[in-house]
């Protein structure tokens, strides 16, 4: 998953010059999507790195994703309140500064060699990214012709996928090269391993700080959220729409499955029965997993112009189930490429589930959008459960959890996504 939608879908007003070209502004905003995709995918590199350094179980290692994606659940609503108070542009700057602080916290975490500080740094980093997502998406939708808003969002999300693709390839080997396999671990070895994250995250923190300075001075059009149409709306809430609530479960299981697979990729490819790769070499293959999602997004956008979104969603989820079962039941390169190809199947899932779930909500759309974004917490909970299962029955069989997740998505695409409107008497 690595790209989220707006935490608060508000009605947005802009200036009369709405149809003018905002090329420079859009390029600047696109860098934000790229950066948070880049930072998020590095978690999959940190898992084997910190697991080796602190001799963690798989369950303990999955606390990395738990702290990171748990921030979405905790920070999303406060982020919306913050942005409504200080505005969208200042919200972007605030998110960048907080994310920068999270990156800089990796330095004391690595120097002190305390796992808890690494987790705290990840939570702070994710909190900044959450604020960025809540603030940046409305800008992308308002900068230009409303008829092409979806196209602009698709393009920026493609750059998010580009970030998740190249980060493991560029940074992964640098971090994982520090893993030293010795008969008995010593403090000096642990310190060398810890220092491997200092330079990458200091550089990333510096890049975030530069972006914060740029967005402090760049002239972006002012946008203001206005009250939803029909302020005196009828009683009720978004929760009375079954297809929304089932969609929230769909987002929960999808993000959990995507993050869970990515989290175990390096360990899976390092197994002698699969590919026997060293961690530094295995990290490069994460790029194939997320790269498939990037390519599939462009293909899916074209295909779904002729095929119903629900059917396309069910087809991709079914293909994902088949590929994971191949990865579970076979070995060698067949299992390796089967699990990597699941990334291609993931491509359309998040935006498709999201759009199907909010369809027809009318005045409850904003509330429904918030519910869906809170469901991203699946990326915190399900990988942790998968880690517990991996500790007890092994990594390969633990992939049964994503299978169950994708089975639910098949159901949602074929049955659960059909709008049902309940009326209150």
The per-residue pLDDT for range 306-319, each reduced to its tens digit, is 888 889 899 999 99
Per-residue confidence (pLDDT) for residue 184, from 0 to 100: 42
Instruction: Tell which wins on pLDDT, 377 or 308.
Output: 377
Per-residue confidence (pLDDT) for residue 395, from 0 to 100: 96
Q: At 299, is the pLDDT very low, low, confident or very high (cuts 50, 70, 90)?
A: confident
Q: At 274, is the pLDDT very low, low, confident or very high (cuts 50, 70, 90)?
A: very high
Sequence-ordered alpha helix ranges (H) in 224-331: 242-270, 279-284, 286-303, 309-329
- In angstroms, the CA 194 to CA 104 distance is 14
Q: Hey, where are the domains in the chain?
A: 11-225+238-416
| Average confidence score pLDDT of the chain | 83
- In angstroms, the CA 289 to CA 339 distance is 8
Per-residue confidence (pLDDT) for residue 247, from 0 to 100: 93
Per-residue confidence (pLDDT) for residue 397, from 0 to 100: 97
**pLDDT (mean) for 276-301:** 87
Per-residue confidence (pLDDT) for residue 409, from 0 to 100: 97
- Flag whether pLDDT at 62 surpasses 90: yes
Mean pLDDT lowest among 30-34, 81-85, 98-102, 362-366: 362-366
Take residue 48 and report the two structure tokens written for it: 């084997």
- In angstroms, the CA 412 to CA 372 distance is 14
Per-residue confidence (pLDDT) for residue 265, from 0 to 100: 95
The per-residue pLDDT for range 132-190, each reduced to its tens digit, is 887 876 677 667 666 555 556 667 777 888 999 999 988 888 888 766 444 344 445 55
**Which string of DSSP letters, residue by residue, matches 323-371?**
HHHHHHH--HHHHHHHHHHHHHHHTTHHHHHHHHHHTT-GGGHHHHHHH
- Flag whether pLDDT at 283 surpasses 70: yes
Q: At 418, is the pLDDT very low, low, confident or very high (cuts 50, 70, 90)?
A: confident
Residue with token string 């079914």: 318
- CA-nearest of 128, 144, 116, 138 to 50 is 116
Give residue 41's Cα distance to chain centre: 8
The fourth-level CATH superfamily of domain 11-225+238-416 is MFS general substrate transporter like domains (1.20.1250.20)
Q: Is residue 13 within a helix (H) or strand (E), and if so which, with residue range?
A: strand 11-13
């Amino acid at each position: 998953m690595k790209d989220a939608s707006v935490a608060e879908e508000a009605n947005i007003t802009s200036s009369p010059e709405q149809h003018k070209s905002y090329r420079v502004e859009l390029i600047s905003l696109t860098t934000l999507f790229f950066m948070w995709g880049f930072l998020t995918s590095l978690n999959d590199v940190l898992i084997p790195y910190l697991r080796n350094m602190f001799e963690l179980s798989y369950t303990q290692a999955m606390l990395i994703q738990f702290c990171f994606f748990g921030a979405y659940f905790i920070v999303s609503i406060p982020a919306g309140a913050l942005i409504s108070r200080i505005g969208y542009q200042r919200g972007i700057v605030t998110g960048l500064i907080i994310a920068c602080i999270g990156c800089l916290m990796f330095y004391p975490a690595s120097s002190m060699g305390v796992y808890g500080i690494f987790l705290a740094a990840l939570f702070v980093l994710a909190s900044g990214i959450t604020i960025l997502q809540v603030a940046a998406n409305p800008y992308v939708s308002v900068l230009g012709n409303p008829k092409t808003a979806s196209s602009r969002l698709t393009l920026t999300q493609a750059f998010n996928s580009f970030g998740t693709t190249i980060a493991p390839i560029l940074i992964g080997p640098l971090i994982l090269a520090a893993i030293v396999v010795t008969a008995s671990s010593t403090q000096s070895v642990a310190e060398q391993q810890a220092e491997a994250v200092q330079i990458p995250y200091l550089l990333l923190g510096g890049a975030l700080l530069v972006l914060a300075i740029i967005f402090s001075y760049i002239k972006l059009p002012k946008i203001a959220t206005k009250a939803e149409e029909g302020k005196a709306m009828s009683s009720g809430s978004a929760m009375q729409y079954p297809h929304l609530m089932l969609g929230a479960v769909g987002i929960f299981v999808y993000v959990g499955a995507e993050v869970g697979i990515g989290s175990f990729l390096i360990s899976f490819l390092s197994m002698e029965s699969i590919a026997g790769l060293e961690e530094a070499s295995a990290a490069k293959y994460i790029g194939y997993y997320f790269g498939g999602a990037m390519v599939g997004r462009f293909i899916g956008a074209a295909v779904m112009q002729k095929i119903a979104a629900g059917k396309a969603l069910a087809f991709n989820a079914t293909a994902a189930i088949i590929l994971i079962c191949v990865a579970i039941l076979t070995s060698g390169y067949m299992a390796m490429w089967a699990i990597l190809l699941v990334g291609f199947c993931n491509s359309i899932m998040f935006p498709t589930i999201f759009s199907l779930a909010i369809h027809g909500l009318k005045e409850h759309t904003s509330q429904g959008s918030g519910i869906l974004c809170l469901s991203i917490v699946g990326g915190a909970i399900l990988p942790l459960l998968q880690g517990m299962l991996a500790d007890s029955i092994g990594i390969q069989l633990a992939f049964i959890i994503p299978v169950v997740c994708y089975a639910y998505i098949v159901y949602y695409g074929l049955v659960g996504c059909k709008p049902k409107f309940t009326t209150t008497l």
